[in-house]
Amino acid sequence: MRGQRIYLKECASCHGADLKGEPGWQSVGTDGRIKAPPHDETGHTWMHSESELFRLVKFGQGAAAAPGYVSPMPVYAGRLDDTDIEAVLAFVASRWPPGHRAYQIMLDPGFDPARMPAGDWVLPQICQPVPR
Ligand code: HEC
C-alpha cells in the first residue's frame, strides 16, 4: 500500500512504525520538546477531520500553534504532493477501529453518511471521568 510505504519512510521515525508514537508521548521531555503522539486509536489523530489533518501535515500547525512555537515535525509542502499526503492519512485511518473512523467522518463539515463504515461498531467513549 502506497500510504504505508510513505508512512514508513516519512513519519515512522517519530510516530513509530507501529503508530504508537514516542515512548512517554503524554509528557514533555526535560528539553521542553513535545513528543510525537501515536496515530493509532490510543492517540488523538482520529479526533481531527481529514481536512484538518491534511492542512496540518502539509503546512504545519499554522495559526493553531502558540506564537513562537516551532514544531519538531517537518512541514511536508514541497516534500510530499497532495496525493501522497492523502495516501498516508488514508493508511493511518485504515488502522483505526470502525467506530473511531466513524467519529472522524462525522467531523467533516460536508458529512456524507454514505462514507460511514459498514457493519456493527460503537463510537469511542471520549468523555471519561477524571480519576480522583
Ligand atoms: C521529526 C519527527 C516527526 C516526523 C518525521 C513526523 N512528525 Fe508528526 N508530529 C511530531 C510531533 C513532535 C508532533 C506533536 C507536536 C506538534 O504537533 O508540534 C506531531 C504531530 C502530528 C500530528 C498532530 C497530532 C495528531 O495526531 O493529531 C499529525 C496529524 C502528524 N504529526 C502527522 C504526521 C505525518 C502524517 C507524518 C509523516 C508524513 C509525520 N507526522 C512526521 C513529530 C514528527
Residue appearing with cell numbers 519512510: 9
Compute the chain's Rg from CA coordinates: 15
- Identity (one letter) of the amino acid at 126? I
Q: Which atom of ligand 1 is nearest to the CA of 38?
A: 26
Domain boundaries 2-115, corresponding CATH code: 1.10.760.10
Q: What predicted TM-score, i.e. pTM, was given to this entire model?
A: 0.93
pLDDT digits (tens, 9 = 90+) for 56-93: 999 998 777 888 888 899 999 999 999 999 999 999 99
Cell matching residue 118:
459498514
Cβ atoms < 10 Å from Cβ of 93:
18
Cβ-proximal residues to 6 (8 Å cutoff; 6+ apart), any chain = 80, 84, 87, 88, 91
Cell matching residue 79:
516534500
Q: Are 107 and 87 in contact (CB under 8 A)?
A: no
Q: In the chain, which residues have pLDDT < 70?
A: 127-132
Can you state the angle between helices 82-94 and 50-59, rounded to 10 degrees?
130
* Residue 18 alpha carbon to ligand 1 centre in Å: 14
* Residue 42 alpha carbon to ligand 1 centre in Å: 15
Q: Are 92 and 73 in contact (CB under 8 A)?
A: no
pLDDT at 112: 93
Domain residue ranges of the chain, discontinuous segments joined by +: 2-115
- Alpha-carbon distance values, 47 to 113, 114, 122, 131 (Å): 18, 20, 15, 22
Residue bearing the CA closest to ligand 1, atom 14: 36
pLDDT at 129: 66
Give bridge partners of residue 9 from the DSSP assignment.
none
